[in-house]
């Protein structure tokens, strides 16, 4: 029987296993004061809309929403034309992890293109060109990319710009699923300029701006950089069940998260802790990494016998069981001590297995 060290204070399951940042929770509590009109006619919502305009420019338009799947569906429903399909990577959350919500609510085909790293390249769009204008095929209408990707990789601003250029050339618009846009921003420089470089400046049309994984209790935002696509958005939001009634409780949280770039700082931290975890475990015999982490997750390949004892000590999810790959994900509240304890636990299991 292996004697394990004391476990970390948190799991490595997902960044949505963390709670809300204290400043966020404090803002949520502070917003609980008297009456405020529902559905966004409140001062908290007005203020957070200003904050988003500061990030993305005065012509951007932001709608708050409940959750990631909902934000994606709202964004895509604003973008898609009849008989269009949505093109994404085969790993995209919208393709594999939303129980067919996009197909059901959009009534549209999703095309999952092959990718080894979760990223797409313009040539893959180019190959779809022969479908355009052929009445028997769903028409490529929206490109959806994820930043940072489901596989923990990050598009450079140039890569996003190239995809946007090709998409626009083909008459498509571009959606960026930014459930972890904070981690990508941190990875690309950690500034608002970095954020703009791979969004507004690159030509993205609509963003799902993640709040939950970045430190909120709940709440996401859809940011329309292409104004024309926002035209019907307030109606669509209600229609796809994503209109919070006491909206101040979403707005106040986001306001706290965006203040003084807290969202970026939290992501810088979770990113750096993934790097620390990678460094602390990469040399353990029997464990293998395909790549160093770019954001807040590592994907080690382990002997199968390690997995259960480690999971029961400090939980995480399997990734690709066929090759013994698991995912360890840090969150905004993970600490250096958590990393060190976790790495120590892996060493113990490695030693006794």
Please state the closest distance from residue 54 (CB atom) to a copy of itself, in A. 25
Q: Name the strands in the sheet holding 317-320, side by side, starting at the edge strand that comes first in the sequence.
A: 297-298, 325-329, 317-320
From 73, 151, 163, 186, residue interacting with a copy of itself (rule: CB under 8 A): 73
Distance CA 296, CA 307 (A): 20
Distance CA 187, CA 179 (A): 14
Distance CA 125, CA 316 (A): 35
Residues 126-165, interacting with a copy of itself (CB under 8 A): 135-139
What is the DSSP secondary structure assignment for residue 5, as one 8-state letter? P
Beta bridge partner(s), residue 87: 111, 143
- Asked if 192 touches a copy of itself (CB under 8 A), the answer is no
Please state the closest distance from residue 318 (CB atom) to a copy of itself, in A. 10
Whichever of 97 and 193 has its CB closer to a copy of itself, that residue is 97
- Asked if 13 touches a copy of itself (CB under 8 A), the answer is yes
- Asked if 36 touches a copy of itself (CB under 8 A), the answer is yes
- Binding part of the chain for a copy of itself, among 77-85, 144-152, 196-204, 272-280 by CB under 8 A, reads 77-85
Residues 193-222, interacting with a copy of itself (CB under 8 A): 212, 217-218
Cβ neighbours, 10 Å, residue 156: 14
From 118, 140, 152, 244, residue interacting with a copy of itself (rule: CB under 8 A): 244
Residues 220-239, interacting with a copy of itself (CB under 8 A): 232, 234-239
Nearest to 280 by CA among 289, 267, 269: 289
Whichever of 317 and 352 has its CB closer to a copy of itself, that residue is 317
Nearest to 58 by CA among 200, 198, 188: 200
- Binding part of the chain for a copy of itself, among 23-31, 156-164, 184-192, 339-347 by CB under 8 A, reads 23-31
Distance CA 294, CA 312 (A): 27
Residues 84-103, interacting with a copy of itself (CB under 8 A): 85, 96-101, 103
Please state the closest distance from residue 192 (CB atom) to a copy of itself, in A. 26
Please state the closest distance from residue 193 (CB atom) to a copy of itself, in A. 30
Please tell me the number of Cα atoms within 13 Å of 332 on its side-chain side. Answer: 26
Please state the closest distance from residue 210 (CB atom) to a copy of itself, in A. 11
Contact 61, 273 (CB under 8 A): no
**Taken in order 158, 273, 313, 290, is the CA torsion positive or negative?**
positive
Please state the closest distance from residue 74 (CB atom) to a copy of itself, in A. 8
Question: Residue 226 contacts by C-beta under 8 Å, 6 or more apart in sequence?
Answer: 173, 205, 206
Cβ neighbours, 10 Å, residue 114: 9
- Asked if 307 touches a copy of itself (CB under 8 A), the answer is no
- Asked if 327 touches a copy of itself (CB under 8 A), the answer is no
Residues 285-304, interacting with a copy of itself (CB under 8 A): none
Beta bridge partner(s), residue 184: none
């Amino acid at each position: 029987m292996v004697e394990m060290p004391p476990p970390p204070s948190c799991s490595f399951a997902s960044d949505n296993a963390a709670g809300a940042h204290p400043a966020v929770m404090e803002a949520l509590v502070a917003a609980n004061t008297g009456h405020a009109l529902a559905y966004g006619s409140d001062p908290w919502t007005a203020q957070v809309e200003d904050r988003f305009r500061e990030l993305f420019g005065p012509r951007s338009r932001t709608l708050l929403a409940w959750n990631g799947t909902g934000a994606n569906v709202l964004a895509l429903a604003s973008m898609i034309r009849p008989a269009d399909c949505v093109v994404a990577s085969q790993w995209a959350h919208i393709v594999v992890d939303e129980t067919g919500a996009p197909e059901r609510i959009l009534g549209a085909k999703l095309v999952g293109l092959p990718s080894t790293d979760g990223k797409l390249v313009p040539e893959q769009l180019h190959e779809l060109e022969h479908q355009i204008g052929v009445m028997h095929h769903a028409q490529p209408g929206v490109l959806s990319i994820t930043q940072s990707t489901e596989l923990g990789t990050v598009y450079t601003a140039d890569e996003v710009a190239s995809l946007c250029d090709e998409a626009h050339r083909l008459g498509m618009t571009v959606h960026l699923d930014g459930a972890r846009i904070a981690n990508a921003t941190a990875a690309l420089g950690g500034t608002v300029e970095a954020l703009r470089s791979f969004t507004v400046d690159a030509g993205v049309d609509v963003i799902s701006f993640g709040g939950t994984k970045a430190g909120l209790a709940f709440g996401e935002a859809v940011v329309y950089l292409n104004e024309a696509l926002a035209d019907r958005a307030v109606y669509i939001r209600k229609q796809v069940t994503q209109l919070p009634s006491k909206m101040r409780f979403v707005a106040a949280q986001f306001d706290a998260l965006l203040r003084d770039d807290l969202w970026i700082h939290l992501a810088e931290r979770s990113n750096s802790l993934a790097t620390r975890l990678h460094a602390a475990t990469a040399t353990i015999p029997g464990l293998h990494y395909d790549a160093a982490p770019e954001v807040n997750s590592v994907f080690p390949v382990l002997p199968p016998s390690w997995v259960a004892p480690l999971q029961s000590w400090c939980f995480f999810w399997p990734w690709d069981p066929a090759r013994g790959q698991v995912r360890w994900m840090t969150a905004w509240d993970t600490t250096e001590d958590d990393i060190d304890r976790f790495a120590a636990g892996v060493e113990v299991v490695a030693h006794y297995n």
